[in-house]
Amino acid sequence: MPTTSTDLIAQLERLGGEFAAAIAPLADEQSIRAAQAQYLGKKGQVSDVMKELGRLPPAERPLVGQAANKVKDTIALAVEERLGALAAGRRAADLARAVDLTLPGRPVGGGHLHLLTQVRLELVEIFAEIGFAVAEGPQVETDWHTFEALAIPKDHPARDMQDTFYVADEIVLRTHTSPVQLRTRQTHTPPRRIVAPGVVYRRDDDATHSPMFTQIEGLVVDEGVRVSDLKGVLLHFVNRFYARLTGGAGLDVRLRPSYFPFVEPGVEIDMSCGFCRGAGCRLCKGSGWIEIGGAGMVDPDVFAQVGIDSERYTGFAFGMGIERMAMLRHGVNDIKYYYEGDLRFLDQF
């Protein structure tokens, strides 16, 4: 008997009707997709019916094509509905599972501030207690602010002490926080007391030196500021910062003549060793003193650079390494521990 379009349409409609029943017992996506392929795939039952299309008079073919499209839609819809029903079933089962609301919660491991951040905030607080405000400056800095205006011209040997990363011709990664002194003096008239904590960069790398580290700069400009004021501020600082280590026993500060081009006189700051109370130990190399930074009275020429009257105003500045201060207080023996992100180290603080 010749195939008619009515036969083919009936077969297609039957397939569409069968499909939903065929997948009703299937309980996972993989078998549902396999069933879908059995109907709609290249060798599937719908394709088998469509192979007969060629035997029909051309005028009847579009009707069968339409019926085939309808079947495909019916099957796709049935797949979607079945998968949706399975997902809803899973959700309901999850919700139905007994939940004991009285059980204590699982502890969530909280983070905390990095040791260097903790120390930086603490330093700022200690200086704030005696009237210092916080100032900031850019890490990518001009050569002028970093060196020239601090009396360190291009051929000055002091540039060798701070091996520099250059970003462009006259632009550097600041090698110290001292440029913030200048920026503050440019924007604020005296009297002024600031601390400037921040990241600095040098071509340096060993157990106590890192190419990126943090310093805290201090600057006081006022009438009648003297070296004894500098020493008083430093004494306040070391005794507050290291109090936990020394159990409150007083630490001393010693200013040793040194050279920084932008201060006169320049000094190296030493504090008495908190570990051996000055008796001499491995940490202080037997000397009883530990170096913590540089300082000095601001050179009148440097004041002149930013238009401050050095007949009327005097000032002091200091700069200390934050990593080094934290190493001393917390017994950290390699500067790299700060930057490696190892939780076994970080979680101790």
Binding region for ligand FA5 (CB under 6 A):
162, 176, 178, 202, 204, 209-210, 213, 215, 217, 260, 263, 266, 291, 293-296, 317-321, 323-324, 335
CB of 213 to ligand FA5, least distance (A): 4
CB of 90 to ligand FA5, least distance (A): 57
Q: Which is nearer to ligand FA5, 52 or 291 (CB)?
A: 291
- Preceding omega of 257 cis (within 30 degrees of 0): no
Q: Which is nearer to ligand FA5, 16 or 319 (CB)?
A: 319
Strand partners, 273: none
Cβ neighbours, 10 Å, residue 117: 13
CB of 168 to ligand FA5, least distance (A): 22
CB of 87 to ligand FA5, least distance (A): 57
CA distance 216 to 227: 19
CB of 325 to ligand FA5, least distance (A): 8
Nearest-CB residue for ligand FA5: 321
Q: Which is nearer to ligand FA5, 44 or 265 (CB)?
A: 265
Strand partners, 212: 201
Cβ neighbours, 10 Å, residue 86: 15
CB of 298 to ligand FA5, least distance (A): 8
Q: In this structure, what are the phi and psi dihedrals at residue 214, rounded to the nearest 5 degrees?
A: -120, 140
Q: Which is nearer to ligand FA5, 33 or 159 (CB)?
A: 159
Q: Which is nearer to ligand FA5, 193 or 324 (CB)?
A: 324
Q: How many CA atoms lie within 13 A of 224 on its CB side?
A: 0
Q: Which is nearer to ligand FA5, 79 or 221 (CB)?
A: 221
Q: Which is nearer to ligand FA5, 116 or 335 (CB)?
A: 335
Buried b (16+ CB within 10 A) or exposed e, 133-147: eebebebebbbebbb
CA distance 217 to 199: 11
Number of H helices, E strands in the chain: 13, 10
CB of 109 to ligand FA5, least distance (A): 30
Cα 190 to Cα 24, 285, 316, 328, distances in angstroms: 85, 41, 13, 34
Q: In this structure, what are the phi and psi dihedrals at residue 255, rounded to the nearest 5 degrees?
A: -105, 115
